[in-house]
Amino acid sequence: MIEESTPAGGRKFDAFFESLQAAPKRVLMLDYDGTLAPFRLEPHKAVPYPGVCEMLDRVLDDGGTRLAIISGRWIRDLIPLLTLKRMPELWGSHGRERLWPDGQYEFAEISPESTLALFRADAWEGWIRLSGGRVERKPGGLAIHWRGLTGARIDQIRDRVLREWGGIESWGGLDLRDFDGGMELVARGCSKATAVDTILAESGPGTVAAYLGDDLTDEDALAALQGRGLGVLVSDAPHRTAADVWLRPPQGVRDFLARWLRTLQGGEMNS
Ligand SMILES: [Mg+2]
């Protein structure tokens, strides 16, 4: 059973931060929505919780941590929300895109089958909007959002998505997945686990890593990290997860970042 804990105490956190202090390389991987920022009905208003950007700035200023934000959003939609002094490494569209701090951009190609199937799903937008939902297009994906709608409306949209999905599933190349607040069509080949595997492979032996995330799509990343770092579920209540510990947002996240900073500054032993 997952351990409920706070970064200020708890066996797993204590062991983790002890190893972090001695680590030659440190990696901090963070989901965005629901982890660093609250959910909003208007996603372009979902700015980070108070205090979070200041702490991320300090982690980046210190220079002793490879910091990556790993989101399901299109990177171009994520950047305006981050009021940071400098950009960390950003991964978008569930591991399909990467933007390095120096501006270099990488994108994993989408198969022709996935492209055709997504093109067909584009036609769903009209009825989704009429039902009160919202469509979010991103590279290699199409998210259907229903946050804020009544249960009956959500059921109506979900039922129709499943019916329509039956018509394009055979085109291949796409998966239909649930997330907190909707469903998403995602081109196969990339997930948040892609980002975790890539970063850990690049960082090499001796790396001490943590991943913080809240949603079903973060479970790919948390599963990829198992045995290689600390997986942290950010949630108001625990659920089935591959994480090692769970925190309540936003204070638990702030406490985690504060302890990370104290550790970087070598003050962990005195805290
Ligand atoms: Mg999230």
Mean pLDDT of 79-97: 97
Query: Mean pLDDT across the chain, nearest whole number?
Result: 93
* 58: pLDDT strictly greater than 80: yes
* Cα 270 to middle of ligand 1, angstroms: 33
List all residues 6 or more positions away from 58 whose beta carbon is below 8 Å from its beta carbon.
261
Amino acid 172: pLDDT: 82
Strands 66-70 and 89-92, bridge-based pairing: parallel
Q: Considering only CA atoms, which of 51, 23, 26 is closest in space to residue 37?
A: 51
Mean pLDDT of 129-135: 96
Query: What would the two tokens of residue 185 be?
Result: 């069509």
- State in Å: Cα 240 to ligand 1 middle: 15
For the residues of 129-149, what is the DSSP string, one character each? HHTT-EEEEETTEEEEE-TTS
**Confidence class for position 106, pLDDT limits 50, 70, 90:** very high
**pTM, 2 dp:** 0.93
pLDDT over 70, % of the chain: 95
Residue linked to tokens 């979070």: 52
Which structural domains are found in the chain, ordered by start?
A: 24-108+191-266 (3.40.50.1000), 112-187 (3.30.70)
- HEC sequence for 49-70: CCCHHHHHHHHHHHCCCEEEEE
Residues whose Cβ atom is located within 5 A of ion ligand 1 = 31, 33-34, 214-215
Return d(Cα 14, Cα 241) in angstroms, integer.
21
Mean pLDDT of 127-150: 95
Tell me how far apart the alpha carbons of residues 253 and 176 are, in angstroms, rounded to a whole number.
30
- Residues 174-222 have pLDDT tens digits of 999 999 899 999 999 999 999 999 999 999 899 999 999 999 999 999 9
241 CA distance to ligand 1 centroid (A)?
Answer: 14
**pLDDT tens profile 213-271:** 999 999 999 999 999 999 999 999 888 899 999 999 999 999 999 999 999 988 665 44
Neighbours of 61 (CB within 10 A): 12
DSSP 3-state of 103: coil
Which amino acid type is present at position 228?
R
